[in-house]
Structure formats: structure tokens, C-alpha cells
Amino acid sequence: MKQLHTRFRLITFIVIALLFIAGLYGVYSVNIYGRRWFSNSKNTRYQAAKNNVIAGDIIDRNGITLATTDQDGDRVYQSSLKSREAVVHLLGDRDGNVANGVDSFQANYLLGFETSLGERITDLFISQTRHGDDITLTADSKLCTAIMEAFQSGTRTKGKTGAAVVMNYKTGAVLALVSLPVFDPQNITDSVKSDTQHPFWNRALQSTLAPGSTFKIITAASALENLSGITDYTFVCTGATKVMDQYIHDYNMAQHGKISLEKAFTVSCNNTFAQCALMLGDDKLRKTAEDFGFNDNFLFRDIVVENSVYPTTNRNLVQIAWSGAGQSQIGATPLHMCMVASAIANDGVMMEPRLLTQVKSPAGLVRLRFSSKEYRRAVPEDIAKTLQGYMLEVVSSGTGSGARVQGLTIAGKTGSAEASINGKDVTNAWFVGYIDDDALPYACCVLVEEGDSGGSVAAPIAASIFEYIKEHYGN
């Protein structure tokens, strides 16, 4: 009998524990996924609210109103066409063509679902149309416009698709999020809807593409952490390394001869990093990639972004070798690669990207303020500092010289990633980098699809970004 009683108590405890865990998971799910559920276009509550609530304003870091609601209840954007276009993927549009823009993802604030019960009762009592809250962003609409214009005016970037992200690497605050091509949210024509370049697609957040040689930041981090004596090791680059029945080759078939890891990083030697990947093995390289956020289920508070991928299936030596150079089914978004560069700049600590500064009630009272949040430590501090030196050298004397800005110390890494689009072999141009200055703690990622060389195409766009920051954020 005593034994039966003990067993009953044990079963009761297990049931209670399971119910408690289920409750915690429910709270977690609502907290994490709530805005995603609410802002879904199929959510009838969301659609009803859009028709019955005066949506709040969206304001940038400079106090510029990016979106408001007119007297007829219609969502309207800035009077400047260029400004509207530059921030359209950041904000989204009133018809919901851009997935997960601020206007929809932050609808719980903008449509007043975070108001107090007292406010709702008062509105009901006086028969007043409910107003949503105003939100202020970390983003700089003028910087977004400057980035868009740099793309559109560049000899080698005009007419190209691509994206750029700028963030504060110490706080995670996103200053710019631009995707090309753009469109006017107040004049969505049939030609825009049928455009084969897919202007509604937010390439900064949704495009998971091979990061190419920008991934060498991660390969180098893994080598420094796992391969004893690697900084003194001498690699040999003959222009091509045979792996199984295939050859790993460098961009333009370059031959670097005897070369150190640091020098290989500076000149972006594929052969060296293929050898590093083979020396590491797939498991160790994957582990480092995952330390930097690959294969994470990104659930950020302010931003919806596609997950970056490092393959988890068993792979052959050729695939592993190419992984060292950021190819072979590795995929990352521009936002995530900006986070990678930011982690190196921030001594190995990766901050969660954020877009919101504060939420204000219709009466002008600050309802919420948003603070910075550490996402994870991506790499030990000593290794981050070593990589800082490597990235500084890339810009001062290597493939990233196009990102130089007079009066600033710039660190970075270029990438020229091979891809196939509709059966056509293309090369996407990448650059990730940052300003090495505590007073200007800003990092960026630039992607130019079918842009060819990261050093000659993406790096100059980054230079224009850093130049803008120097002129408008410096003392």
C-alpha cells in the first residue's frame, strides 16, 4: 500500500511538472510568435483593426515621420519619392506586399493593442475612434536614401539587385536596411507587380545566399581556435588544390605560393581556406559557424529574418573544402553577415539587431523604451582581436582597398560568391566591414547580386556608407 501511495505521488508530480512546462512553453510561444501571428495578413482581427483604428506614426531616429494615417484613414508615407522608395522594405507597404515590414510586424503597437484597459474604456465611453501608438525607429531614413542613390548611380551597380545593412556593433541598433530594386508604396503599378526582379522581395532579410569569402571570417576563427600553431603554419597555393576528382581554385586563378593564414585572409586565398576546412573537418567548422548564429532559429524582438544555413548532412571532402571559402550550400542573409562583422568589431560579442527605440501613446507619453540585448558570444575575445587585425589589413593592403575612407580606419572582408540563377552561372559581390573607432561603432554589409568582384563592386558602396557616417555622425 505504501509503495502504491509513493508511486501515485510520483505520477502526480510528473503530471504537474509536465503541465508547468507546457504552460511555460505556451507563454514563451505567445511572447515570441505573438506579433508574427497577429500581423499575418490572414488574421481577421488584424484586418478588422486596420479598418477601425487610426494607426500610429512611424518615426525615424531624426524625428522624420515615415508613415502616418490621413483624415480618411488611409496609410500615407513621406512626400519625397526618393525617401519613400529608400525605406519601403524597412517599413513595408499598406497592401502588405513586403513581408514583415515595420508597418505590419509592429501592428500590435501601431493599432493600439498594447494600450491599457483604462484607455480602451475611455475611448469606448466617449465614442472616440481608437488611435494606435507611435513608434520611433533606430533607422536613419536619410542614410537609407544615400545608400539607394549610391547603388543607382554606380557604374557597376546601376540596375543591379542587392541589399545593404548598417548597424551599431555595440548596441545592435539598425541604422539602415535597404533592398534593391525599390518601388513607390503609394503607386504600385501593374509593372511593379510583374517585375521579374521581384521588388517586393526584401533581400536584406529574406535572401539566403552563399556568402563567399566573407565566410572566411568564420573559417579563420575556427582555425585560430582549433588548430594549434596555425598562425605559424605555411600554406602553399599553386592556384588550384585537387580534392578527390575536383580542383579548388582562386579568383582569377591567382597563385600565391607560400603563404600564412593572415596573408591568405588579406588576399582571400581560396586554396588556403579549403586546406583549413579539410584540416578542421566539417564538425568543427560547423560548430564555429553555429557559434556565429548559423542554423539558429532567429527570433529577434524587432526584426523577422530568414535563418542562415550551414549544411548538417554528411558531406564529401570537396564540399567541405569549398565550405572554407563560403560556398557549398552555405547560405546567409546580409543582415546576418552584418552581425558577423559586428561581432568581430565588438570583441567577439554579437548583439541582437533591433529597430525600435520607443513607443509613445496618442497622448505623447512614452509607453515603452527598448534597450540593447546581447545575442551571444560568437568567438573568444583574443581570437576576435586577431581577426580585427586581419580585417584591417584587408582594407589597408588587400582585396578590400575599395572601402577605404580618408580619415577613418576601416576593417573588412570581401566576397565574390559563385551562384547559379536560372541555369546561369553568376558571381555575387559581397563586402562586410566596420569603422574601427569607438566613437563611430558602425558596421555594414553590402550585397550586389551578379556584381562579380566584391572588392571592386561592393566595397565602394561600403565606402560611401562610411563616408556618410563620417560626415553626419562624426564630431
pLDDT in tens, 129-155: 778 999 999 999 999 999 999 999 999
What pLDDT, on the 0 to 100 scale, is given for residue 100? 85
Is pLDDT at 69 greater than 60 in this prediction?
A: yes
407 contacts 396 by C-beta, under 8 angstroms: no
What pLDDT, on the 0 to 100 scale, is given for residue 250? 82
What pLDDT, on the 0 to 100 scale, is given for residue 253? 75
Q: Is residue 74 part of a domain?
A: no
Q: Is residue 261 part of a domain?
A: yes
Is pLDDT at 279 greater than 80 in this prediction?
A: yes
Is pLDDT at 48 greater than 70 in this prediction?
A: no
Which of 47-51, 141-145, 257-261, 447-451 is least confident?
A: 47-51
- Average pLDDT score over residue span 426-437: 96
Q: Is residue 410 part of a domain?
A: yes
Q: In which band, very low, low, confident or very high, does the pLDDT at 34 lie, cut at 50, 70 and 90? A: low
Q: In which band, very low, low, confident or very high, does the pLDDT at 217 lie, cut at 50, 70 and 90? A: very high
- Average pLDDT score over residue span 35-61: 68
What pLDDT, on the 0 to 100 scale, is given for residue 94? 86
What pLDDT, on the 0 to 100 scale, is given for residue 25? 47
Q: Is residue 119 part of a domain?
A: no
Q: Is residue 458 part of a domain?
A: yes
What pLDDT, on the 0 to 100 scale, is given for residue 242? 85
Which of 108-122, 167-181, 432-446 is least confident?
A: 108-122
As a whole number, the mean pLDDT across the chain is: 89
Q: In which band, very low, low, confident or very high, does the pLDDT at 52 lie, cut at 50, 70 and 90? A: confident
Q: Is residue 175 part of a domain?
A: no
Is pLDDT at 26 greater than 50 in this prediction?
A: no
Percent of the chain with pLDDT over 70: 86
Q: Is residue 272 part of a domain?
A: yes
What pLDDT, on the 0 to 100 scale, is given for residue 331? 97
pLDDT tens, residue by residue, 331-371: 999 999 999 999 999 999 999 999 999 999 988 999 999 99
- Average pLDDT score over residue span 442-467: 97
What pLDDT, on the 0 to 100 scale, is given for residue 28? 46
- Average pLDDT score over residue span 32-36: 52
267: domain CATH number?
3.40.710.10
- Average pLDDT score over residue span 298-305: 93
Give this prediction's pTM: 0.89
Q: Is residue 241 part of a domain?
A: yes
What pLDDT, on the 0 to 100 scale, is given for residue 37? 47
Residue 289's domain comprises 212-354+372-473
Which of 45-49, 226-230, 352-356, 449-453 is least confident?
A: 45-49
Is pLDDT at 110 greater than 70 in this prediction?
A: yes
What pLDDT, on the 0 to 100 scale, is given for residue 423? 74
Polymer length of the chain: 475
What pLDDT, on the 0 to 100 scale, is given for residue 150? 97
Rank 46-50, 91-95, 392-396 by mean pLDDT and report only the highest: 392-396
Which of 37-46, 80-89, 165-174, 458-467 is least confident?
A: 37-46
- Average pLDDT score over residue span 19-40: 50
Q: In which band, very low, low, confident or very high, does the pLDDT at 127 lie, cut at 50, 70 and 90? A: very low
Domain count, the chain: 1
